[in-house]
Amino acid sequence: MFICNHCPYVQSIISNLVSDVNLLKKDYQVNTVAIMPNDVNKYPEDSFENMINFAEKNKFTFPYLIDSNQEVAKEYGAVCTPDFFGFNADLKLRYRGRFNNAKKEKVQNYEIGSSDLFQAMKFIAKTSNLPIDQKSSIGCSIKWSNSTG
């Protein structure tokens, strides 16, 4: 998944996202990696130091990596944060979509495991197949550096 620290869309889902990926790991052995693709010169709040703070504050149990040259984001075709890519055990892309239908406001009374992402990854873990219903992610556009974007 591609996320960042400053985006209101990411901030609105982050606690629910962490809960869901923890449950995916526990119940379905689904691993998670988060990648921050933004140009930190344009958005210093997404700096590596701030990523460490963001990960600690939100109790990440998965790696949070920086894509400093933005090559990974470009290879995946990521366009926004958050942007989710789900793979099966054979590392075939099976999900490209959103976390849930939340916008910039935190969902109240969120039920862990109810997100589009969770349901898709659960389906993939059980069947290795493509979930039929995949909705595009919405969020903040990736902040491309002048040399890459």
* Of the listed ranges 21-30, 45-54, 111-120, the one predicted with least confidence: 111-120
Nearest alpha carbon to residue 89 among 132, 30, 34, 35: 30
pLDDT score recorded for residue 25: 98
> What's the pLDDT at 102?
76
The average confidence (pLDDT) of the chain is 94
pLDDT digits (tens, 9 = 90+) for 7-21: 999 999 999 999 999
Find the mean pLDDT for residues 122-136: 94
Q: Which fold would CATH assign to domain 8-141? A: Glutaredoxin (3.40.30)
What pLDDT shows up at residue 148? 53
Residue spans of the domains in the chain: they are 8-141
Alpha carbon 60 to chain centroid, angstroms = 12
